[in-house]
Amino acid sequence: MTGKSPLDDPEAAAFAWARYRRIMRFMFLVTLGLVLIALALLYKFGGEVSVHFYIATALGVGFVMLLASALMGLVFLSSGTGHDESVDNNLPDNRIDED
């Protein structure tokens, strides 16, 4: 049985989601900066490469950074609000017996 989550409170949820959006805005700016740095380094040291290489690099670095940011932000949201503590992990039939 699960307990009541702190995210069930509308005020706490609004605060937590506002914090998550603030983290994501910051990480979007960091991601944009890293993509620009990666493209500048490729242009300086990469030699002659196709424009498709630059597009793939920008999309790859951007996607990975934003996905990692979103997932870590959700972990921070869940942990920071106490949502993790509301889950009951006591499963009596799934214990490993040590001999």
The pLDDT assigned to 80 comes to 77
Joined together, the tokens standing for residue 40 give 């500048």
The closest of 83, 71, 66 to 2, measured between CA atoms, is 83
Kindly report, residue by residue over 8-32, the tens digit of the pLDDT: 778 888 888 898 999 999 999 999 9
Q: Give CA torsion, residues 46, 47, 52, 53, to 10 deg.
A: -20
The pLDDT assigned to 1 comes to 47
Q: Which residue has better confidence, 90 or 72?
A: 72
The pLDDT assigned to 62 comes to 96
The pLDDT assigned to 24 comes to 94
Kindly report, residue by residue over 45-80, the tens digit of the pLDDT: 988 889 999 999 999 999 999 999 999 998 888 877
